[in-house]
């Protein structure tokens, strides 16, 4: 990740106006645009939707969400995480026009969630899981881009599932790729990786209008054009290049789908809308948390505003014939790595997608996918650096295991399932740690006749095991006092244990007193 020259949080970008950092933001926007273009097309293709629906979603994610969002660096657009939902949804409701109303309603649900301040959900994902997500995305980028880097482009750009639509799994695709290497693609990708690594260590890094990722793509195009002239057999052609629709404006407009509002009478549309609203919100909140961690200035973006912005984007995208949008960490990390400072970068990238579709298709269709693979390989490595793994290891098993499980789960399933599995494991560690922590704090000095304990401010059902163990440790003849005067909240489960122990204490000849602990409202079972 490029380290900005201005590091103190007090001087974070944004204070000088929307265009104060245009020299950094505009080149970064071009890099994001180049990365986003094949992703938009690939995700639309994999979703069984018109190619233009992916571009529309990219434009809306950049411009509409970018203007409404409070995040400085997150970039939105169509996401691979929703591909399975889109494929199933289109089949279920009878076509893409019938699917679009669900996108619009899903966006409205997200806006309502933002107004209801539901963005707080994002804060309940453990840090170990978020870091695991970043590392897993980095590894997935590397594994998924290796085939593109050697000229094997059977799977669409942006595929993040372990098993791709072609039926090959991630490792099988790599094996197939290395059995069918295209030397021209290898040359372009290797030069791109070398430029990405070397560029920041040379005086060229001072050329703010030409960041390393952009230089890698430009040089990749130049190499391929030279190969066309001097060694046509090595030149990259056809499906190994960006494939933006190149029809005229009238033809493009005629291909744009329109929402079929009669589909609102289909109950499946409403179920789809709720699904899109919830899943897109979760993916956006996770991407927002991850982007906040990657931001060199550690700026915190408001989660509720982000939900509202994403909802506005989905309503707009659905109305215009586009795919659902979410915050996307791949584009966001590419944006940060290219040196972006403010949200101007994401907004301009959306405008570039629009202009490119209308006027520059023939030029952009000369970009080799191998050149973009070189950029994404380095981006992936920066997301899963050895330092990240070492830090997780140093924090102990309670942090490392959820981190590692999240990575493995994402690699072998997909982003949302992997996050869910990592979250469950993280919660288990939290529960175990909570149960091990004593809920009764002993405050009497050693050798005192009366053994006094105090309860914490809040006593939940998670304290049951700890309290039960402590009560069982009391020996006959002890004098015990448990003080609950400072406690403001009790679970009935705990009150039942504390009050029912009175009978046990009598039988074991223990002088047992409760001070400030209310009676249990639960009738004991006999």
Q: What is the pLDDT of residue 5?
A: 38
Residue 411: which of 380, 387, 388, 385 has the closest Cα? 380
Judged against a pLDDT cut of 70, whether residue 3 lies above it is answered with no
Q: Per-residue b/e over 259-285, b at no fewer than 16 CB within 10 Å?
A: bbeebbebeebbebbebbbebbbbbbb
Q: What is the mean pLDDT of residues 315-330?
A: 96
Q: What is the mean pLDDT of residues 221-249?
A: 87
Q: What is the pLDDT of residue 8?
A: 40
- Residue 245 CB burial class (10 angstroms; 0-12, 13-18, ≥19): middle
Parallel, antiparallel, or unpaired: how do β-strands 441-442 and 450-454 relate? antiparallel
Q: What is the mean pLDDT of residues 510-517?
A: 93
Q: What is the mean pLDDT of residues 52-66?
A: 96
pLDDT band at 404 (very low <50, low <70, confident <90, very high): very high
pLDDT band at 427 (very low <50, low <70, confident <90, very high): confident
- Angstrom CA distances, 459 to 124, 465, 466, 521, stand at 20, 12, 11, 16
Q: What is the mean pLDDT of the chain?
A: 88
Residue 23: which of 414, 338, 482 has the closest Cα? 338
Q: What is the pLDDT of residues 179-218, one digit of tens each?
A: 889 999 999 999 999 999 999 888 888 887 888 888 999 9
Q: Give the integer Cα–Cα distance in Å for 315 and 202.
A: 45
Listed in sequence order, the residues at least 6 apart from 7 whose beta carbon sits closer than 8 Å to its beta carbon are: 296, 297
Q: What is the pLDDT of residue 524?
A: 47
CB 398 within 8 A of CB 425: no
Listed in sequence order, the residues at least 6 apart from 60 whose beta carbon sits closer than 8 Å to its beta carbon are: 313, 316, 317, 320, 322, 325, 350
Listed in sequence order, the residues at least 6 apart from 302 whose beta carbon sits closer than 8 Å to its beta carbon are: 70, 119
- Residue 447 CB burial class (10 angstroms; 0-12, 13-18, ≥19): exposed
CA neighbours closer than 13 Å in the CB half-sphere of residue 90: 19
DSSP 263: G
Q: What is the pLDDT of residue 15?
A: 54
CB 453 within 8 A of CB 440: yes
Listed in sequence order, the residues at least 6 apart from 147 whose beta carbon sits closer than 8 Å to its beta carbon are: 153, 154, 155, 173, 174, 176, 177
Q: Answer with the residue of higher pLDDT: 154 or 296.
A: 296
Judged against a pLDDT cut of 60, whether residue 246 lies above it is answered with yes
Q: Answer with the residue of higher pLDDT: 511 or 125.
A: 511
CB 401 within 8 A of CB 425: yes
Percent of the chain with pLDDT over 90: 58
Report CA Rg, the chain: 28
Where does 441-515 sit in CATH, by number? 3.30.750
Q: What is the mean pLDDT of residues 309-315?
A: 98
* Top-confidence range, 65-69, 141-145, 391-395: 65-69
List the structure tokens of 152. Answer: 């094997």
Q: What is the pLDDT of residue 136?
A: 93
Q: What is the pLDDT of residues 493-507, one digit of tens each?
A: 889 999 999 999 999
Portions of the chain given CATH number 3.30.750: 441-515
CB 101 within 8 A of CB 264: yes
Range with lowest mean pLDDT among 27-41, 126-140, 460-474, 505-519: 460-474
The single residue listed with the structure tokens 């009878």 is 94
Residue 171: which of 140, 195, 192 has the closest Cα? 140
Q: What angle do CA 361, 366, 368 make, to 5 degrees?
A: 125
């Amino acid at each position: 990740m490029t380290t900005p020259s201005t590091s103190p949080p007090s001087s974070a970008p944004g204070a000088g106006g929307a265009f104060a950092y245009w020299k950094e933001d505009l080149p970064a926007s071009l890099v994001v645009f180049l990365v986003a273009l094949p992703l938009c097309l690939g995700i639309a293709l994999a979703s069984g939707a018109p190619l233009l629906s992916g571009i529309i979603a990219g434009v809306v994610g950049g411009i509409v969400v970018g203007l409404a969002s409070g995040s400085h660096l997150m970039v939105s657009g169509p996401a691979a995480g929703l591909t399975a939902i889109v494929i199933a949804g289109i089949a279920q409701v009878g076509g893409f026009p019938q699917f679009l109303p669900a996108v619009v309603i899903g966006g409205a649900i997200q806006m309502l969630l933002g107004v209801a301040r539901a963005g707080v959900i994002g804060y309940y994902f453990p840090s170990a899981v978020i870091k695991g997500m970043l590392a897993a995305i980095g590894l997935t980028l590397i594994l998924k881009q290796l085939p593109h880097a050697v000229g094997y482009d059977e799977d669409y750009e942006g595929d993040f599932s372990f098993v791709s639509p072609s039926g090959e799994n991630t490792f099988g695709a790599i094996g197939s790729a290395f059995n069918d290497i295209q030397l021209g693609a290898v040359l372009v990708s290797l030069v791109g990786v070398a430029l990405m690594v070397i560029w920041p260590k040379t005086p060229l890094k001072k050329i703010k209008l030409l960041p390393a990722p952009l230089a890698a793509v430009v040089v990749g195009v130049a190499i391929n054009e030279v190969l066309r002239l001097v060694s046509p057999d090595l030149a990259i052609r056809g499906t190994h290049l960006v494939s933006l629709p190149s029809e005229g404006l009238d033809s493009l407009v005629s291909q744009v789908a329109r929402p079929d509002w009669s589909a609102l009478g289909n109950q499946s549309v409403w179920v789809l809308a709720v699904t899109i609203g919830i899943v897109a919100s979760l993916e956006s909140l996770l991407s927002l948390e991850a982007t906040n961690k990657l931001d060199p200035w550690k700026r915190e973006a408001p989660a509720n505003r982000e939900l509202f912005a994403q909802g506005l984007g989905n309503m707009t995208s659905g109305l215009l014939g586009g795919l659902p949008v979410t915050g996307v960490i791949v584009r966001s990390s590419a944006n940060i790595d290219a040196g972006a400072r403010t949200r101007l970068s994401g907004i301009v990238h959306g405008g570039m997608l629009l202009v490119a579709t209308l006027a520059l298709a023939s030029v952009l269709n000369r970009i080799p996918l191998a050149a973009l693979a070189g950029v994404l390989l380095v981006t992936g490595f920066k997301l899963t650096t050895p330092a990240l793994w070492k830090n997780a290891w140093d924090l102990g098993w309670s942090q490392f295991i959820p981190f590692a499980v999240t990575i493995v789960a994402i690699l072998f399933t997909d982003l949302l399932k992997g996050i869910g599995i990592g979250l469950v494991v993280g919660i288990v560690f939290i529960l175990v740690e909570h149960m091990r922590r004593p809920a009764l704090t002993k405050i009497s000095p050693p050798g005192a006749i009366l053994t006094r304990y105090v309860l914490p401010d809040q006593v939940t059902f998670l304290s049951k095991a700890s309290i039960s163990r402590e009560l069982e440790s009391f020996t006959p003849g002890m004098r015990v006092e448990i003080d609950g005067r400072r406690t403001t909240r009790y679970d009935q489960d705990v009150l039942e244990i504390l009050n029912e122990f009175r009978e046990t204490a009598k039988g074991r000849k223990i002088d047992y007193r409760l001070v400030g602990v209310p009676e249990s409202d639960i009738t004991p079972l006999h």
